[in-house]
Structure 1
């Protein structure tokens, strides 16, 4: 079974990581939080300690359904500097498999040149890192292999877009309804 791997670094945005994992697991999508620090306990951008499911060294990228990067500072920069993660991203990209990032984290894909010619969104002020992409400013943008999200307020739409991509629109709508999101978003 393929797995979604969400990568968590020191300073990653907790709500963007945990809300996405929660939404995916509600949809029945196998999802694992991966620490890129060498320790399963990682401190996020707002001082919340998160226990990852696994370490970077345990990831089998050949079994990845999708790679997801939460934003946050300095978390996004820490993800961008991780050579093993960059190698895994390139493996995923070359295999034609989906990738997602939210908030400041699309800078990882942008700096790697993977967003050239595509529409993308990110936290305002980080658009110069989306090298060659067309910045839309939308809450969520899907283009090619990529799903990008604007920031913390976009996390639900971002999570539902990932579910729709991996499990179908009906499953995404069922999770939205089960979480009462459609009542709030009216």
Structure 2
């Protein structure tokens, strides 16, 4: 079973975290949510409280197939300010393993860490200037090697289905999308 850790910081964008968590779990992926704050309870950008599965200090993360950073502000900034998160992301990338970020996180976290250097990437409109070293695509979802980036809240579903296809397979991703009636959103 594939293993994913989702780092949650106060101020994360609700749908950018919860839709991928839901889709990946439906697809049989072992998803662990990780609080990077002082408490297991993490508050989203819109005041929704989520209890994380573990605290950052309880994680090893070396068994991860994918490390995922939701966006939202100030969530993305809070992720970048956490030295442990930055180290885990860099280590994951340097090992050639998958890293994913959506909305502000590609620009606020991945770009300053050098993860996007020479890669195609997308992010929330208005943050593209911060994608130094990357080739901005303006697509909903962009995959370049081991890095997947998503544009924003509306990209959460296609972003999640792309991650599921990478981690499991396209057939499973398509089946989950069909079961969730995703095609109606794209009609």
Q: What range is the shorter-chain TM-score in?
A: over 0.9
Aligned to 2:3: 3
Rounded to whole Å, the distance in 2 between the matches of 1:2 and 1:157 is: 19
Q: Secondary structure at the match of 2:110?
A: helix
Aligned to 1:93: 93
Distance 1:2 1:176, change over 3 A: closer
Q: Contact 1:2/1:63 (CA < 8 Å) preserved in 2?
A: no
CA RMSD of superposed structures (Å):
1.0
List gaps (5 residues or longer) in structure 2. none
Rounded to whole Å, the distance in 2 between the matches of 1:64 and 1:58 is: 14
Equivalences, count: 186
Rounded to whole Å, the distance in 2 between the matches of 1:155 and 1:164 is: 14
What is the deviation of 1:144? Answer: 1.2
Rounded to whole Å, the distance in 1 between the matches of 2:13 and 2:182 is: 21
Aligned to 2:184: 183
Q: Contact 1:140/1:148 (CA < 8 Å) preserved in 2?
A: yes
Q: Contact 2:70/2:103 (CA < 8 Å) preserved in 1?
A: yes
Aligned to 1:172: 173
Aligned structure 1 segments of 4 or more residues deviating by more than 4 angstroms: none
For normalisation by structure 2, the TM-score amounts to 0.97
For normalisation by structure 1, the TM-score amounts to 0.97
Q: Secondary structure at the match of 1:141?
A: strand
What is the deviation of 1:90? Answer: 1.4
